[in-house]
Amino acid sequence: MEYRRLGKSGLQLSALSLGSWLTFGQQISDKVADELMGIAYDAGVNFFDNAEGYAAGKSEEVMGKIIKAHGWERESYVVSSKVFFGTENKGPNRIGLSRKHVIEACHGALKRLQVDYLDLYFCHRPDKQTPIEETVWAMNTLLQQGKILYWGTSEWSASEIMEAIRVARQYNLIGPTMEQPQYNLIERNKLENEYLMLFKEYGMGTTIWSPLASGILSGKYTSGKAKDTRLDMKGLEWLKESALTEVKLAKVEKLQSYADELAIPMAKLSLGWCLKNPNVSSVILGASKTEQLKENLTTLEVLPLLTDEVMANIDRIMWTRPTL
């Protein structure tokens, strides 16, 4: 496994990490979740990603039980939670980024994950109703209390992140260390365009999500091999609709032919492509089956095959590179 610094911070994350969205406490059994975490940990994965909103808190409960059952040393792993969406929809103060919810959500996550502190704590979305100042102060209270070690954002705009940095500087507080954006061969703008100044000037780290665009970039939807997938899950019609568009599938089909030519499995090509970006600190993998995770965890071996020429050919096939 390769380890990368989370931006300019001192923390090192495995280049490949494991997340639990839609899987833990929802699509897969607790037994499969346990197997996935065991496989990942044994392969050197040291970062496990979670959020209060995943399966309404159940994902954190499942992960907490697994961590406890394995008895892994606390120093050997990094665990995250995210605040914003809440675990249940009961009243106005169980969501968002107010001081009240940021602090209560942290307490809830610590309990469900059965840990004394969260290594990473993300604001899962920007909260347009709460002053950024209030959120930055709340994060710093938690830092001072030792309940979180690093805080960051997810899917914030560059200007919102800049505002958080500005507020932190104004009051001598600690600003955001990392962002968690979507990044894959289809969605490239934030990482390759919008955030460039944040990387250069502030050394922001990134833990990127949906590296396979919910599985499409594994090629299984174009090869006819997709079965028992997340896109068949009830309630995820919105995801299916946005994921399986004609334009995307046509591009993926072309990419599949190129991957075949290179003799690189599509999932590994797509994941390896994400890792080639030096501003990516960790690629968060998702998996509903142990075979998927085992395959994805061997991605590092394809990196030497992704030469400049191959990367340029991929650009020409996908036509998703942002124009700067």
Contact residue for ligand NDP among 26, 140, 296, 299 (CB under 6 A): 296
8 Å CB contact between 119 and 89: no
User: Residue 144 CB, nearest distance to ligand NDP (Å)?
Assistant: 25
Q: Which residue, among 165, 93, 157, has the nearest Cα to 129 in the 3D structure?
A: 93
- Burial class of 124 by CB neighbour count within 10 A (0 to 12, 13 to 18, 19+): buried
* Site for ligand NDP contains 218 (CB under 6 A): yes
Helix (H, G, I), strand (E, B) or coil at 137: helix
Contact residue for ligand NDP among 214, 222, 256, 299 (CB under 6 A): 214
Select 13 or 267, whichever has its Cβ closest to ligand NDP. Answer: 267
d(CA 116, CA 110): 6
Select 142 or 217, whichever has its Cβ closest to ligand NDP. Answer: 217
Extract the tokens encoding 126.
């920007």
User: Residue 248 CB, nearest distance to ligand NDP (Å)?
Assistant: 13
Q: Which amino acid is located at 237 in the chain?
A: E
Only one residue has tokens 């002053």, namely 131
Backbone angles phi, psi at 118, to 5 degrees: -95, 135
* Site for ligand NDP contains 21 (CB under 6 A): yes
- Taking every pair of C-alpha atoms in the chain, what is the biggest distance, in angstroms? 56
Q: 97 to 136, contacts with ligand NDP by CB under 6 A?
A: 124
User: Residue 170 CB, nearest distance to ligand NDP (Å)?
Assistant: 27
Strand-pair category, 3-5 with 12-14: antiparallel
Select 136 or 285, whichever has its Cβ closest to ligand NDP. Answer: 285
Which range, of 13-21, 195-203, 240-248, 251-259, touches ligand NDP by CB under 6 A?
A: 13-21
Extract the tokens encoding 274.
């994400």
d(CA 270, CA 281): 16
8 Å CB contact between 46 and 297: no
DSSP label at residue 8: T
Contact residue for ligand NDP among 295, 303, 317, 321 (CB under 6 A): 295
The reply to whether 202 belongs to the active site is no
* Site for ligand NDP contains 176 (CB under 6 A): no
Select 28 or 167, whichever has its Cβ closest to ligand NDP. Answer: 28
Which range, of 34-42, 170-178, 214-222, 251-259, touches ligand NDP by CB under 6 A?
A: 214-222
* Site for ligand NDP contains 292 (CB under 6 A): yes
Q: List contacts with ligand NDP (CB under 6 A).
A: 19-21, 23, 49, 124, 154-155, 180, 209-215, 218, 220, 229-230, 267, 284-288, 292, 295-296
Catalytic residues: 54
